[in-house]
Structure 1
Amino acid sequence: MAAVSGGGAHTPSVLVGPIDLAARVDEALAVQAVAFGLGRNEVDVRRHIVLRHLEHPCARALGATTAAGRLIGFVYGMPNERGHWWSTVVEPYLRATGSEDWLDDSFVITELHVHPEFQNQGVGRSLITTITDAVDQPRSILSAIDTESPARGLYRTLGYRDLARQVLFPSAPKPYVVMGAPLPLRRRA
């Protein structure tokens, strides 16, 4: 477990470490719903997706919890496979930018969310660096909404760069960007 110091005077310490995400999926999706603005129907759909992803033998998950055990953030991912739905959607966009090879030998960050009360305190940074430090792949890929946001800023500081922009996922209201970074991720200077 890694400890993350709180950023505010009244913010408790946060512990980052392995969790049984399948057992805590509803808590995790409650965090994602608040952080990402999801409605009940979207949460129900994502619940099935998360549980299906966690069946992958190489899926990894970490949680960020307060000392009292409250789940306030999570990350999960797995080695990328070209046959995965996500890969089939992003592949034409990556091919168009000459970045298609990023789909091979990469660890994909499937989801990373931190409750808004705990954002900008190093929790997301700790989650993503801890999970990628433990993988065998030489690089990591992820997708994020294609807008300038604190999440995109974080990813850039870690070494992620844009591989393809304006990626359209079925039923997603906004375009995404696919980003990639060599591992290990960059640390703060």
Structure 2
Amino acid sequence: MVRVLKIDKQVWNHSIKERLIKHSNYKGFRDYVINSVEGDIIGFSYGYTSSPGQYYHDLISNEVSQIEYDKWLVDCFEFVELAVHPLYRNQGYGKLLINELLRGVKNRTVVLTTQSNDQSAHNL
């Protein structure tokens, strides 16, 4: 985890250490890391099973109908973070991080939230 925390500051200019530690204890937590041949981290992704009491689960549930809640948030995997070092962007690593993280996920649905103005996330 220490190596992952080095890249988070390069991607977001702040640390996600406390959040990552908290999330790593959630049910269904999984992560995927890509390393360069030199051993540096190219990128990482992680997520967990979405459950009542978690920030985004509750945020989304307050904005959707019961039918939408049942469709999307019951038995849901929440894709939480995706980070690719700036030097390695636009080379397919984001797609690889997504695909590998989700490989083997057994939940019925997967949700990802992002800021509405994050064009890179929307393009990916």
Taking structure 1 as the reference length, the TM-score comes to 0.59
- Identity across aligned pairs (percent)? 24
Q: Is the 8 A contact 2:36 2:42 kept in 1?
A: yes
Alpha-carbon shift at residue 141 of structure 1 (Å): 0.3
In the TM superposition, what whole-angstrom CA distance separates every residue of 1:86-143 from its partner, at most 9, and x where no partner exists? 21122212339x6323111111111111111111111110011111121101221011
Q: Is the 8 A contact 1:60 1:78 kept in 2?
A: yes
Q: Is the 8 A contact 2:47 2:80 kept in 1?
A: yes
Q: Is the 8 A contact 1:60 1:131 kept in 2?
A: yes
For residue 51 of structure 1, what is the amino acid of its counterpart? Answer: I
- Which residue does the alignment assign to 1:30? 6
> 1:127 aligned to 2:97?
yes
**RMSD of Structure 2 on Structure 1 (CA):** 1.9
Unpaired runs of at least 5, structure 1: 1-23, 155-189
In 2: Cα distance, 1:137 partner to 1:89 partner: 20
Q: Secondary structure at the match of 2:117?
A: coil
In 1: Cα distance, 2:118 partner to 2:80 partner: 20
Note closer, same or farther for the CA distance 1:137–1:125 as it changes in structure 2 (3 Å cut).
same
The 5 A counterparts of 1:57-76 are 57-76=27-46
Q: Secondary structure at the match of 2:48?
A: strand
Task: Identify, as 1 or 2, the structure richer in helix.
Answer: 2
Alpha-carbon shift at residue 148 of structure 1 (Å): 5.1
Task: Identify, as 1 or 2, the structure richer in strand.
Answer: 1
The 5 A counterparts of 1:32-181 are 32-38=8-14, 43=15, 46-95=16-65, 99-101=68-70, 102-147=72-117, 149-154=119-124
Q: Is the 8 A contact 1:79 1:108 kept in 2?
A: yes
Alignment: residue pair count: 123
In 2: Cα distance, 1:86 partner to 1:128 partner: 19
Note closer, same or farther for the CA distance 1:83–1:125 as it changes in structure 2 (3 Å cut).
same
Larger CA Rg, structure 1 vs 2: 1
For residue 66 of structure 1, what is the amino acid of its counterpart? Answer: S
